[in-house]
Amino acid sequence: MSIIQIIISVISSLLKFGTPLILAGLGGVITENAGVVNIALEGMMRIGGFFAVFGSYLTGNPWYGLILGLIAGAIAGLLHAYISVSLKGNQIVSGVAINIFALGGITFFLERYFNTTGHSPSVNSFIDKPLFPILVKIPVIGEIFSVMNIFVFLAITLPFIIHFYLYRTSWGLRHRSVGENPKAADTMGINVYLVRYIAVIISGALAGLSGASISIGQLSLFDNHMPAGLGFIALAAMIFGKWKPIGTLIAAFFFTMATVAQIYIQTLAPHILKIIPRGFFLAFPYILTILILAGFVGRAVAPAADGVPYEKGEKL
């Protein structure tokens, strides 16, 4: 392989494997900027991933799968919103609860509808369905477009759209004010509960989409191990990206780089893995996130009211 081919192939892998991280990470950005912590991204990805396969299995059309996965994630988001906004429950407990529930519940569905606890049968998916088939024919860089299905396209465009929304529109300003100072936002006539509900539901939908991007975007089945901790890496990417959409995009690529590098090194230069074991590549993103949070490598500051339930009319 020539060096250019390797670069193109690395970029394609980054796009492909980074997509779920970006989508779920954006889910985190949306909800945490409205002041609700969502550590249930993992569970919502699992739910979305399963129902995407289920939808495609029932209808034979992966688009319906995508929509079902998105809706399933949104419903999980609604549950999280109800507990953390309306009931003012502990947002982390609620998140842990949804994660555990997704673990058991989806295994139940897998057993119920596919008679297995391993993986579902193959369904129609978005594999080899590039969004721009014409561009695939371009020599050299065509490979990049061959992996660009609907999920990858959304993953590289949504960060900019969300950035525009959050920082360039008045709606975005309201959204952020709810996360920074809900009391002030309330005084200005913003419906804090409504904004938080919408944010958490959208976050669930994005996490569901992210799960779908694995099950019907990268593969064409649902495996019971999914998403194997990707939701937590997405959370790390969001923090690494300082709770900002474009930052999250870059962080997600950076984290994916550790995994992709490990795969390429294994095939191209296996002797490096003898010096630096695989485990170090895989643990690297997590260690780096801790170092960043501890302020050894730059500082990351969460929205001020992140994780704090808002009680209307409560005295300060």
Partner 1 sequence: MNELLHWWNRKRENVLDFAVPIMAILTGFFVAAILIKATGKSPIDAYRLLIQGAFGRTFQELLSLRLAGEGLLKGGILALTGLSVAVAFKSGLFNIGAEGQFIVGSITAAFLGFKLHFPPWINIPIILLAVILTSGLYGALAGYLKVKKGVHEVITTIMLNWTAVHLIENWIVVGPFNILRYYPRAIRAGTPYVQDNSRLFPLFEGTRLNATIFIAIIAVIVVYYLLNKTVTGYEIQATGKNPEAARYSGIKTGKSMILAMFISGALAGLAGACMILGTEKQYPGVFRPGYGFDGIAMALIGATSPIGTFATSLFFGFLRSGATSMQLIGIHKTFADIIQGTATLFVASQLAIRYLIMRLEKRRKPEVKEIIKSEVPK
**Least CB distance from residue 293 to partner 1, whole Å?**
4
Given the rule CB under 8 A, which residues bind partner 1? 37, 39, 83, 87-90, 92-94, 96-105, 107-108, 111-112, 117, 229, 232-233, 235-236, 239, 277-280, 282-283, 286-287, 289-290, 293-295, 302, 308
Task: Provide the minimum distance between the beta carbon of 116 and partner 1 in the complex, in angstroms, as a whole number.
Answer: 10
Q: Where are the alpha helices (DSSP H) in the chain?
A: 3-32, 41-59, 62-81, 91-114, 133-136, 142-146, 150-168, 170-180, 182-187, 192-212, 230-240, 245-268, 271-275, 278-293
Q: Whole-angstrom Cα distance, residue 308 to residue 55?
A: 36
Residue 33: CB minimum distance to partner 1, A: 16
Residue closer to partner 1 (CB basis): 39 or 53: 39
Nearest to 27 by CA among 83, 90, 95: 95
Q: d(Cα 90, Cα 84) in Å, to the nearest integer?
A: 6
In the complex with partner 1, the residue whose CB is nearer, 67 or 221, is: 221
Residue found by looking up tokens 């730059």 in the block: 298
**Nearest distance from residue 161's CB to partner 1, in Å?**
27
Nearer to partner 1, 87 or 138 (CB): 87
Cβ-based nearer residue to partner 1, 128 or 311 = 311
Task: Specify the residue, 6 or 283, whose C-beta has the smaller distance to partner 1.
Answer: 283
Q: Which amino acid makes up residue 269?
A: A
Label residues 38-50 b or e (16+ Cβ within 10 Å = b): bbbbbbbbbbbbb
Q: Which are the contacts of 283, defined by CB distance < 8 A and separation ≥ 6? A: none
Query: Of the candidates 104, 145, 116, which has an alpha carbon nearest to the alpha carbon of residue 57?
Result: 116
Q: What's the min distance (Å) between Cβ of 206 and partner 1?
A: 19
Q: Are 18 and 253 in contact, with CB atoms under 8 Å apart? A: yes
C-beta closer to partner 1: residue 94 or 125: 94
Q: Which residue, among 266, 172, 152, 121, has the nearest Cα to 218 in the 3D structure?
A: 152
Q: Could you tell me the smallest distance in angstroms from the CB atom of residue 39 to partner 1?
A: 7
Residue 108 or 167 having the CB closest to partner 1: 108
CB of 266 to partner 1, least distance (A): 12
Structure tokens at 96: 């842990």
